[in-house]
Each structure stands twice: as C-alpha cells, then as structure tokens.
Amino acid sequence: MAVKLDEPLGRVAYVNARILDPAEGWDGPGGVLTEGEKIAAAGPGLFDGGRPDDAKIIDCQGACLAPGLVDIRAHLGEPGEEQKETLASAGRAATAGGVTSLLCLPDTNPCIDDMSVVEFVARRARLLGLTKVYPYGAVTKELAGKEIAELKLLRDSGALAFTDGTRTIADPLVLRQALSYASTFGLVICHQAEEPSLAEGGVMNLGENSTRLGLAGIPREAEIIIIERDVRLVEMTGGRLHFVNVSTAESVDVIRRAKDRGLPVTCDTAPPYFALNEHAIGDYRTFAKLTPPLRDENDRQAMVQAIADGVIDCVASDHTPQDEESKRLPFAQAASGGIGLETLLPMTLELYHNGHVSLLKALDLVTRAPATLMAMDAGHLKPGAPADLVLFDPDRSWKVSSDVLHSKSKNSPFDGRPVQGMVLRTVIDGRTVHTHEA
C-alpha cells in the first residue's frame, strides 16, 4: 500500500519520549518537533517550557524516540524475482522494522549495472512512499567479475556505492582496477569475501558439525584469504573498501591491523553472525543456510567482541528473501539466505540486553554509523535533517514467526526465537508509515 505523497504536513511535536541520538550522544527525556518533511528541533528537555500550540501532539508515553534505522545491505527481488520480494513488500517489512533508509543490492534481473535500472528502482520506491531505497551499482558488468562497470555514470544516476553482491571478485586485477578508479572519484567499493574455488560445492561451515551432518563444508580460510588479499590491493591503490558480512575471528584480526595502519578499510556484519552459530542448522534446517555460512561459537563470540571494540563499524540486515520452493528442499540444494529487515532492531538490541554494548552504541550500529559510511543525510536528529524517526520499546518482547512478518518471504534464520525490541511507530519525511498498537 502506497503512502499519499501529497498529504499536507504541518508541525508535529513528539513529546514525553526518551530521546536517543548516537550522533549527538543524547539519551534522556525529551522530544522532537517536525515541520513538514524536516526536523525543526530535537533534544533532551525540548518541551520542558511547554508544548507548541500550533502542532499536532504525539505522546510517546516514555518510549524511545531515535533516528530511523539505516540498512546498507538488502536484496529486494524487484525487478526480476518478484515472487520472492517486491519493493512494496520490502517497504512494508522495512517500515515495520523501523528502517527508514536502505541500500538495495544490484543482483536484480536485469542487474543494476546500467543507469536506467538505477533510475527505475529509485523512482519506483519514491512512488510507493515507504522506506527510502538507494541502489548499489554493480562493480562489474553483469556481476561477472570480468570488466568494471561505468562506476561514475552509475554514481551520477544515484548509486551510492558499488558491489557485486554475494559474488566475490575473484580476479585481483579487476578489483585493483575498480579500487583505483573508485579512488579517483571518492567512491566506496563493498566486497563480500569468499574465495570461489575454496567455497565451491560447500553448503555450511567446514568442521566437525559438517562431517557429522554429511554436508560439504566451506573453510573459514575462504573468507580470510580474500580479505588478506584485498587489504594488499587497498594498500596499492588507496581505494576505499568496505567488507560485508564478516564472519570469522581471523578476518576481524586482519581488518583491525589494516585499520591500525591507517588504510581506508571498514566492515560490517549481520545479526546471524553474532547471534547464531553453525548448530542453528540442527537437523538440516534450511532457514539457517546463509552466505557466508554460520560459523562456530568461537567466531560468533569474536564478532560480538569486534562490535564492542569498534573494529566492526556497523550492522546490516543482509535481508535475502527466498520463496518457499527455494527453501523446502534438501539442505544441499536449498537456496542460501535469510530475511532480516524486521529483526534488525531486536537482534541488534540483544547486544545491549546481553551487556555487550550500551543502548546508544547498539543504535549507532544501525543509524549514524552506516549513514556516515555511505555519506547519507540520515541517522541523526539534527534540525534540517529529514524527519525520519523510529519510536520503539526496547524491552517489549515478541516471537519471530511467519504470522507477524510483513516480508513476502518468511525465511528468517531467527524463526521461533523470542526477542526484545518492538517498533511502535515509523516516520518517514514527517509521515507516519507504520504503527503497532499493543
């Protein structure tokens, strides 16, 4: 369902809130005043002197009011795989999860290696009036890893950054060329690290568990080797490289050392890699088949520690919808991936509830930090910024299940898991696009 974009907006005062803004370090009683599509004022104690007479009042009843979430990694299906997800269904799932801005991956059909596809996705999302969708451009033409795409033209058409999605650029010469070109124009290359020949045929993490289940394994070294290689390429070219879905302890160590040397390297991970381990597969549970695969408990704990230490810069959903026919297959034949837009907030809040990070730090991972990495005007409550807000109760519990998820696909690796953190209201450009009533 689209939101009416011609709906007139005036002044709206969000009062009686616990205001949270990692960008400003705010955590305390306060509020936000919006005017039209922009934030007019925000902060602790904003309405201590009284509420404005000319504004619509929304009483937050003590709930947390924060910048809308920014998700920098989501597969959206449209165009080409609308049976898995559409921009409309993804928009509903995102707004239900408090996500007000997201970057969609270029692995559509046709893929986003052409300016017309960038413009189609952006225009279609604007017409829906739900979560703001910003496309990635492909690094290589047709995501084939052979020839770099027209990166600057894609950027000029609206692509915020560049990636080949889940496909690793195996040829180091091609990635070197991309990084060199990107460095000239200040572009960001995002790369999923998995050495293709080592990972070929594997369906889960290589180890005792894969042997017990009789499944072909993907060694952790498939990720580590590519990250070590890519750091050298960054050193050669000076290009900005962002590693996605980091999942092993050694990968984190390599990235930490690169950062210590001042190289322009950043990274993210997704909730499954700090909240689950390979035992979530159980007896061939295909919802837990992901790319990269779930790792062992030591790696999971290393992801938690790297988030707490700041080596991992942000958290992304890695939302990968798969239809029932793709998942209801023997484990080895089932498609990889799990949905994550609606569980991004509660799973990130687990880091807070378990005492690993503060509430502001947990929110920073999904607001200011990803927005800053991608140079987006989002993830903060500064006056003049877009009025993109999420109101949530960090302690309200619910259970992840297909009955409550808005995504067209239901393949959540957290299916059946009790979680804490309920989105109560999502506001985009001053318009309420989602509410949840008790």
| Closest-CA residue to 437 (of 427, 423, 418) | 423
| Closest-CA residue to 263 (of 232, 285, 290, 292) | 232
Q: Are 419 and 347 a contacting pair, CB within 8 Å?
A: yes
Q: In whole angstroms, how far apart are CA 361 and each of 241, 355, 390?
A: 23, 11, 16
β-pairing verdict for 188-192 and 26-35: unpaired
Order of strands, edge to edge, in the sheet holding 69-74? 69-74, 99-104, 132-135
Beta-bridged to residue 286, according to DSSP, are none
Q: Give the separation between CA 203 and CA 291, rounded to whole angstroms.
A: 9
CA 415 to chain centre: 19
Q: Give the separation between CA 211 and CA 203, rounded to whole angstroms.
A: 12
What residues have CB less than 8 Å from 217, skipping those under 6 apart?
A: 202, 203, 204, 205, 206, 207, 210, 211
> Angle, to 10 degrees, between the axis of helix 249-260 and the axis of helix 221-237?
10
Amino acid (1-letter code) at residue 232 = R
Order of strands, edge to edge, in the sheet holding 162-163? 162-163, 188-192, 240-244, 265-269, 314-315
Residue 354 burial (CB count, 10 A)? 10
Report H helices in 284-379: 297-309, 324-327, 344-353, 359-364, 368-373
Q: Are 390 and 100 a contacting pair, CB within 8 Å?
A: yes
User: Among residues 107, 318, 388, 429, which one is catalytic?
Assistant: 318
Residue 307 burial (CB count, 10 A)? 24
Q: Give the separation between CA 226 and CA 84, rounded to whole angstroms.
A: 30
What residues have CB less than 8 Å from 129, skipping those under 6 apart?
A: 2, 3, 4, 5, 428, 431, 433
Q: Are 79 and 108 a contacting pair, CB within 8 Å?
A: yes
Tell me whether residue 318 is one of the annotated catalytic residues: yes
What are the catalytic residues? 318
